[in-house]
Amino acid sequence: MPRYDAPIRDMKFIFHDVLALQNYSNLDGFADATPDIVDQILETSGKFASEVLFPLNSVGDKQGCKRADDATVKTPDGFPDAYKQFVENGWPLLSKTPEMGGQGLPHALSIAVSEMMSAANMAFAMYPGLTSGAYEALMAGGSDDQKQIYGPKMATGEWAGTMNLTEPQCGTDLGLIKTKAIPQGDGSYKLTGQKIWISGGEQDLTENIIHLVLARIEGAPEGIKGISLFVVPKYFVNEDGSLGERNTVSCGGLEEKMGIHGNATCVMNYEDATGWLVGDEHKGMRTMFIMMNEARLGVGMQGLAQAEVAYQNAADFARERLQSRALSGPKAPEKPADPIIVHPDVRRMLMDTRAFIEGARMFSYWTALYGDLLHKSPDEKVREKAGDYMALMTPVVKAFLTDRGLKACNDALQLHGGTGFTKDQGVEQYVRDVRIALIYEGTNGIQALDLVGRKLAANGGRAIFTFFAELDDFIAENESDEELKPFIDALATAKGELQEATSWLMQNGMSDFNNAGAASMDYLELFGLTALGYMWAKMAKTALAKRGSDPFYDDKLVTARYYISRILPETSAHLAKLKTGAEPLMALEADRF
Ligand SMILES: Cc1cc2nc3c(=O)[nH]c(=O)nc-3n(C[C@H](O)[C@H](O)[C@H](O)COP(=O)(O)OP(=O)(O)OC[C@H]3O[C@@H](n4cnc5c(N)ncnc54)[C@H](O)[C@@H]3O)c2cc1C
């Protein structure tokens, strides 16, 4: 039977020992996040994830969602009840502001809770994940009225939120949006158009669904500069907060898809549906980006989360499955063969994944902490750095964690041999489910372009230079520590290569944009590897200091050494590839493919 055990020990290590949340008690809500409270939250949400959501994971996969002729959508058996418990337990309120009824706890903590929900049941976790993104966008860009009307019920999760960008002719290029909005003279607009692939567009989990929709106001400029954002509720909300009539937005069909069957992916038809502008006319992308950035960090976390559940089950299988003898002689002579965990190549798959997961978890929570600093720090300089880091790290978290998350799930399947390819152990579901994470919220290729095209250059490169300075400081502070030296040396090499790649891009990317495009994915990989190298060096430093008190720290050091010796050296290959520029990619004529 597959299992999911929430990795609480590792989460506690990051929050208490490495990030030391307790040192941020000057920030709103952090004083309440005492180690005891953090542990309690991790343990109870981990239990909910393993005991309630995980058993529904394969149910959701097998049953999928069903649309009836009246355009209602039924989620898989057990989902509505689990969602009810999710709301009653108050999980969505964890880091929401107290003004909206939230507990105001650190966002970094709610990221850990989301990780567990997503690992246990990615399709389920997407419903509240999108609601959270829609809520943040409304809080950032909505009017006071809109915040009051929709905020409290979206904060609790009683109402869901969706994001409606994609149309049949427009995915990556949102400038092609056709959905039109006609002003009614009373502050409202009538929206007409079709959106496709809308996650949670219709469902039976919540009494209302608040759609955030990108559309073009009649007469708006062409392209991305003419896009506005609207809030379009499924049911109108009366002045007393009760639900009124049904709006003319409905689900026209459900997509059949490769994975995440428990999440309803809907065609949404807007037929003179009434909506209200969020923010300014033609400035919709600005607010939508708030939602997209939040969602991108959440999607990166999906890669890590699926890798974790796949890893746990692969490790169990590797200890149980008996095949062949160890190359160094039998390890279980009383058995007909040794467990496959004795074979170095099987261990390669497990160690690659373990080193990725633990580094990626640290990277996700570290980045999420900058989200807290951005919103809560009283120090303007700290807020500036946090904003720079959030912008710089978001595409890396999204793309690096999902690319490697897919690899981890694929390795877990490979480790299972034929058992992995059949349905019994459930590991093939993780591969199918995680696959979408590389595509939605902007494909990973687009994340790489965002990194090299926008994020590096922003404010004269302030963010990347701050990051380099932080790495230099860390290296200088620790290079005389003999035990830490291997980690510091490895980090210094990777950082040097990232710096060289950055200079190459600055010199060659501006003169020929194809050079920047061709280098972008290698640059993102090089960045992700280096960022995880930094995370591993930080974790190794803490583990060395705590060694002896718990075997956990010895294991951490073993994994840290694996990362710097077997994964981090990939940086050199990425540097060499990116420096070849656009020519090898662009040489063949399009009709010769
Ligand atoms: C299950 C599922 C759920 C989804 N949920 C939502 C949702 O809730 N809301 C929503 O609005 N959308 C949603 N989407 C849509 C998703 O965000 C898009 O699929 C995604 O943005 C990519 O758009 P596309 O599929 O049209 O691909 P295209 O834009 O057609 O891209 C095709 C390929 O070309 C590449 N490409 C395109 N342009 C460039 C470029 N300039 N440079 C380099 N490469 C480029 C892409 O990287 C990709 O590999 C969902 C999709 C799926 C499948």
Confidence of residue 2 (pLDDT cuts 50, 70, 90): very high
Q: Taking 80 as the threshold, does the pLDDT of residue 404 lie above it?
A: yes
Residue 446 Cα: closest atom of ligand 1:
47
Q: What is the pLDDT of residue 27?
A: 94
Q: What is the mean pLDDT of residues 334-341?
A: 97
Q: Taking 90 as the threshold, does the pLDDT of residue 176 lie above it?
A: yes
d(CA 266, ligand 1 centre) in Å: 15
Q: Taking 80 as the threshold, does the pLDDT of residue 508 lie above it?
A: yes
Tell me which H or E stretch contains 282. Answer: none
Q: What is the pLDDT of residue 123?
A: 98
Q: Taking 80 as the threshold, does the pLDDT of residue 291 lie above it?
A: no
Residue 172 Cα: closest atom of ligand 1:
29
From residue 331, alpha-carbon distances to 140, 193, 319, 340, 369 in Å are 59, 65, 12, 10, 45
Residue 232 bridge partners (DSSP): 211
> Closest Cα to atom 42, ligand 1: which residue?
446
Q: What is the pLDDT of residue 185?
A: 96
> Which residues are designated catalytic?
441
Residue 263 Cα: closest atom of ligand 1:
1
Kindly state the percentage of the chain with pLDDT values over 70.
Answer: 100
Any atom of ligand 1 within 6 Å of the Cβ of 163: yes
Mean pLDDT of the chain: 96
Question: Rounded to the nearest 5°, which phi and psi values hold at 234?
Answer: -65, -50
539: closest CA among 363, 303, 397? 363
Q: What is the pLDDT of residue 424?
A: 83
d(CA 181, ligand 1 centre) in Å: 23
Q: What is the pLDDT of residue 348?
A: 98
Confidence of residue 293 (pLDDT cuts 50, 70, 90): confident
Q: What is the pLDDT of residue 79?
A: 98
Any atom of ligand 1 within 6 Å of the Cβ of 176: no
**What residues have CB less than 8 Å from 148, skipping those under 6 apart?**
none
d(CA 186, ligand 1 centre) in Å: 35
Q: What is the pLDDT of residue 1?
A: 86
Confidence of residue 345 (pLDDT cuts 50, 70, 90): very high
Kindly state the percentage of the chain with pLDDT values over 90.
Answer: 97
Rounded Cα gap, residues 157 and 149, in angstroms: 14
Rounded Cα gap, residues 378 and 359, in angstroms: 29
d(CA 437, ligand 1 centre) in Å: 11
511-516 contacts at long range (C-beta below 8 A, 24 or more positions apart)? 512/581, 512/582, 514/581, 514/582, 514/585, 514/586, 515/581, 515/582, 516/449, 516/452, 516/453
Q: What is the pLDDT of residue 289?
A: 79
Sign of CA pseudo-dihedral 448, 450, 452, 458: negative
Q: What is the pLDDT of residue 218?
A: 94
Q: Taking 90 as the threshold, does the pLDDT of residue 492 lie above it?
A: yes
Break the chain down into helix, strand, coil percent, rounded to 5: 60, 10, 25
> Closest Cα to atom 23, ligand 1: which residue?
171
Domain boundaries, the chain: 443-593
Q: What is the pLDDT of residue 294?
A: 74
Any atom of ligand 1 within 6 Å of the Cβ of 199: yes
| Residue in the structure block whose two tokens are 């949400």 | 45
pLDDT tens track for 350-395: 999 999 999 999 999 999 999 999 999 999 999 999 999 999 999 9
Any atom of ligand 1 within 6 Å of the Cβ of 171: yes
Rounded Cα gap, residues 296 and 302, in angstroms: 10
Question: Rounded to the nearest 5°, which phi and psi values hold at 114?
Answer: -60, -40
Mutate to test the pocket of ligand 1, among 177, 268, 289, 439 (most ligand atoms within 8 A of CB): 439
pTM recorded for the entire structure: 0.97
Q: What is the pLDDT of residue 149?
A: 97
Q: What is the mean pLDDT of residues 152-172?
A: 97
Q: What is the mean pLDDT of residues 529-549?
A: 97
Any atom of ligand 1 within 6 Å of the Cβ of 196: no
Rounded Cα gap, residues 32 and 434, in angstroms: 34
Q: What is the pLDDT of residue 537?
A: 98
pLDDT tens track for 194-234: 999 999 999 999 999 999 999 999 999 999 999 999 999 99
Mutate to test the pocket of ligand 1, among 436, 443, 446, 585 (most ligand atoms within 8 A of CB): 443
For 86-111, give one letter per residue: b (16+ CB within 10 A) or e: bbeeebbbbbbbeebebbbbbbbbbb
Rounded Cα gap, residues 518 and 582, in angstroms: 5
Q: What is the pLDDT of residue 549?
A: 86
Tell me which H or E stretch contains 157. Answer: none
Any atom of ligand 1 within 6 Å of the Cβ of 263: no
| Residue in the structure block whose two tokens are 């069909």 | 253
